[in-house]
Structure 1
Amino acid sequence: TLTKGDIIAELAQSLSGLGVKREHIMGALRSLRMEKEDLLKDERLFEFASELRKISKPILVVGNKADMKEARENLKRLNVLPCSAEVELALKEASRKGLIKYIPGDDDFEILKEDMDQRRLKALEFMRNFLKENGGSGVQRAINEVVLNLLGAVVVYPVEDENKLTNKEGEVLPDAFVMPRGSRAIDLAYRIHSDLGDNFIKAIDCRNKKVIGRDYVLKNGDVIKIVARA
């Protein structure tokens, strides 16, 4: 039961076990244009709880098996992201065997082996049509939507050579780190290795070659070199 004391603090404490934070509560209040005293009114609690759930526990509904004939009509009336895990798996397997060149998330692929039997070619044509109609298999799109949009994470690429954008083996953009929104350069250093974090000197934004400090807030797509004491 909430009291007239610090309502926000009480609610945050009560819901902390569910991962609900103070900023989630404040965001729900702002979204609904509610005052904190409104939380004491039963008539607005359901509305607030619904908004709080959306903010603190965002949900993406994905309609799998969208490649099935019966799914077409359902997708027209449902607000879901169409997806076919089976198509994605089949394309990855064909790519692994060298039959096609396919990059997850793409809406097409390249056939590398032309002398396949008609059964395989027909299956590939079916999957190609599905990719074209839906902008991909839906699997990578769902992952991107959750990680980058719903969770607000950023993808950062650490490198050792800021000019060639490679590691010491010469691999271009060898790693991609998914970092929470608001992460700093020092957080990336520790994510790579604790020694880099402990001995952090500076970082370099490889796109413009500018030196950045430990508190630089990482942006999606940043390519960063960490400079540390030996």
Structure 2
Amino acid sequence: TMADVDVANYPFTTIDANRGVTHVRTECPCLDRDERCGNERCRAGKRYVPVELLDVAGLVPGAHEGKGLGNQFLDELTNADVVVNVVDASGATNAEGEPVEPGSRDPLDDVDFIEEEMDLWLTGIVDRNWEGVERKSRSPEFDIEAALTDMLTGFGASEHDVAAVLRGLEYPGDPKAWTDDDREALARAVRRRTKPIVVVANKVDAAPEGAVDRIREGTDKPVVPATADGERALRRAAEAGVVDYDPGDESFEVVGDVSESQRAGLDAIADAMASHGGTGVQAALNAAVYDRLDRITVYPVQDAGKWTDGTGNVLPDAHLLPAGSTPPDLAYAVHTDIGEGYLHAVDARSSRRIGESHELSEGDVIKIVSTAGP
């Protein structure tokens, strides 16, 4: 929202993808202690955990065929874990990214065609590489799961992903018998599993009444109403000391002097936030990471009593792990050497040792004991 990038209402303002770091927000474990942790990413118990964000320019119909730099933009998505599809809920932007009369564009068209372009793009990749799968099938040791995993690794599909997808499909055992429809069904299923989508209904403050409900009724994906302009304005006002606001707050307080026009603008933002529980920007990021990717936040420490690292910093690090992760998973996330030398772990809240198969939970504070540790 605050990144210094080109912004304009014409197609391909952004030719290259913009990479940056944003944050998801969760409650910091320091709320359970007498004092706040003092970490630079903790604001009065609101913990902001960094995640990498890739801002890809808007796609146009036919992108999977290379239209409008489509292949370049789609290729940027191969390393994405989740896709945040921002649509204009006010209906004032057409399929080519050009401004049009508000209400003249159906936002659901943007929800549908982005997904369709991604699916057809991956279908093309599968089709182009299918001959290699057929060649491998001549071997007596042929394993279709392994062959498809090799083909789809670049798209972010693991062997586990491919196996799960194949369990849900009916397909011929011989790759040479697969039809175009079989390969397309595979591509769509892999995309759904490896690139889940969150829809952001942006410009909700300018959208007609009922627009967000209509988008929700027309898709099976989570839809988050948002006003990116409102978020940007609040962050700038907070930096200037005009308002008291942290990203993700449901409201804000005016603490500085403002002009009548500024007051009117802030009142409009406040009305939108009251209707939707905030600006929606932080909610969209949280929905992508915590809901769609099913991540939890875990905090490794060296001192289980003080919740500090070796130099006395309280709750210095936060790791986003898949739900169901165990202490050894956290150890490897901290460092490969820590994982390989893993001995045991201690739950810092209870000061009790926990087993290797113990499932970690959101907000856990864990001490890892390893032969590679200090």
Shorter-chain TM range is: 0.7 to 0.9
Q: Does 1:59 align with 2:59?
A: no
1:78 paired residue among 215, 218, 227:
215
Give 1:164-175 correspondences, 5 Å limit: 165=307, 173-175=315-317
* 8 Å CA contact 1:161, 1:167 repeated in 2: yes
User: Which residue identity is paired with 2:149?
Assistant: A
Show the counterpart of 1:208.
350
* 8 Å CA contact 1:8, 1:36 repeated in 2: no
2:246 paired residue among 93, 96, 103:
103
CA distance 1:20–1:36, change in 2 (3 Å)? farther
91-100 or 71-80, which moves further after superposition? 71-80
Show the counterpart of 1:29.
166
Identity %: 37
Show the counterpart of 1:7.
144
* 8 Å CA contact 1:105, 1:137 repeated in 2: yes
Q: Does 1:136 align with 2:278?
A: yes
* 8 Å CA contact 1:7, 1:36 repeated in 2: no
Alpha-carbon separation, structure 2, partners of 1:120 and 1:143: 28
* 8 Å CA contact 1:75, 1:82 repeated in 2: yes
1:124 paired residue among 263, 266, 286:
266
Q: CA deviation at 1:55?
A: 0.5
123-132 or 209-218, which moves further after superposition? 209-218
SS in 2 for 1:37: coil
SS in 1 for 2:249: coil
* 8 Å CA contact 1:160, 1:226 repeated in 2: yes
Alpha-carbon separation, structure 1, partners of 2:340 and 2:166: 40
SS in 2 for 1:61: strand
* 8 Å CA contact 1:28, 1:51 repeated in 2: yes
Q: Which structure 1 residue ranges, 5 or more long, are not aligned? A: none
Per-residue deviation, residues 157-198 of structure 1 (Å, max 9, x unmatched): 234554454567876544422234565434544655678667
Q: Does 1:93 align with 2:93?
A: no
Q: CA deviation at 1:117?
A: 2.9
Alpha-carbon separation, structure 2, partners of 1:202 and 1:96: 44
CA distance 1:129–1:163, change in 2 (3 Å)? farther
Q: Does 1:19 align with 2:186?
A: no
Alpha-carbon separation, structure 1, partners of 2:342 and 2:158: 31
* 8 Å CA contact 1:66, 1:72 repeated in 2: no
Alpha-carbon separation, structure 1, partners of 2:297 and 2:276: 24
* 8 Å CA contact 2:172, 2:178 repeated in 1: no
TM-score for the superposition, normalised by structure 1: 0.76
More strand by share: 2
Show the counterpart of 2:59.
none
Alpha-carbon separation, structure 2, partners of 1:210 and 1:51: 42
Alpha-carbon separation, structure 2, partners of 1:189 and 1:26: 27
Alpha-carbon separation, structure 1, partners of 2:329 and 2:351: 20
* 8 Å CA contact 1:205, 1:223 repeated in 2: yes
Alpha-carbon separation, structure 1, partners of 2:192 and 2:152: 15
Q: Does 1:218 align with 2:360?
A: yes
CA distance 1:12–1:192, change in 2 (3 Å)? closer
User: Which residue identity is paired with 1:19?
Assistant: G
Q: CA deviation at 1:145?
A: 1.7
Per-residue deviation, residues 112-137 of structure 1 (Å, max 9, x unmatched): 34x43332222222111111222221
What is the root-mean-square deviation of aligned Cα atoms in Å?
A: 3.4
More helix by share: 1
Q: CA deviation at 1:73?
A: 6.1
Higher relative contact order (CA 8 A, sep 6+): 2
CA distance 1:168–1:18, change in 2 (3 Å)? closer
Q: Does 1:154 align with 2:296?
A: yes
Q: Which structure 2 residue ranges, 5 or more long, are not aligned? A: 1-129, 217-222
Alpha-carbon separation, structure 2, partners of 1:170 and 1:111: 36
CA distance 1:35–1:81, change in 2 (3 Å)? same
Q: CA deviation at 1:210?
A: 1.6
Alpha-carbon separation, structure 1, partners of 2:268 and 2:258: 15
SS in 1 for 2:198: coil
Alpha-carbon separation, structure 2, partners of 1:9 and 1:168: 43
